[in-house]
Amino acid sequence: MKNNIELAKQIYEVSHLTGSFKLRSGQIADEYFDKYQFEADPVLLDSIVRQMVALIPSSIDVLAGLELGAISIVTLLSHYSGLPAAFVRKEAKNYGTARLVEGTQINNRKVLIIEDVVTSGGQITISVSQLRQLGAQVDYALCVIDRQEGAADKLLTEGITLLSLFKRSDFS
């Protein structure tokens, strides 16, 4: 297993881009972490997820990956942790089961949100609100990279502690 410094360097080399990028939050950034580059590399993804396992709070019952970027992460994290996975859509589909959450049940369970790269925490906030309405207890979110642009503070106001494998400052 790679150490954190080596892993951060590899993630940076594979996924860090410079230019002008519009983020989900609407903000314009001059740098971007293309999460699909590290998620598409099976060896790198394996190294990332193996280190994330140690960050899972002991009270967690279910891992819930947010569509689309966190699905590969939560699947592998479920495999290594032994915890069941749920897959959270941005909105319930209007066909088939018409569910917002696929996979294991979340009602009356302690759920850990899994995300790839977090900037403002906007999608986490939306998804946590929806999951809580469905009966989940959500107190934590875990991401690969926290861009350190206010998400941790914003999420704390919603009662969610953001845990991260890396922060933007780890890549400086």
Report whether 93 belongs to an annotated binding site: yes
Report whether 118 belongs to an annotated binding site: yes
Q: Which amino acid is at 18?
A: T
Phi-psi region of 96 (alpha: psi -120 to 50; beta: other; left: phi over 0): left
Report whether 103 belongs to an annotated binding site: no
Report whether 9 belongs to an annotated binding site: no
Report whether 82 belongs to an annotated binding site: no
Show the DSSP H helices in the chain as ranges.
4-15, 35-39, 42-52, 71-81, 122-133, 151-157
Report whether 18 belongs to an annotated binding site: no
- Measured CA to CA, the distance from residue 75 to residue 91 in angstroms comes to 20
Report whether 116 belongs to an annotated binding site: yes
Report whether 72 belongs to an annotated binding site: no
Report whether 117 belongs to an annotated binding site: yes
Report whether 61 belongs to an annotated binding site: no
**Binding site listing:** 24, 89-90, 93, 115-123, 147
**Binding site listing for 5-phospho-alpha-D-ribose 1-diphosphate:** 24, 89-90, 93, 115-123
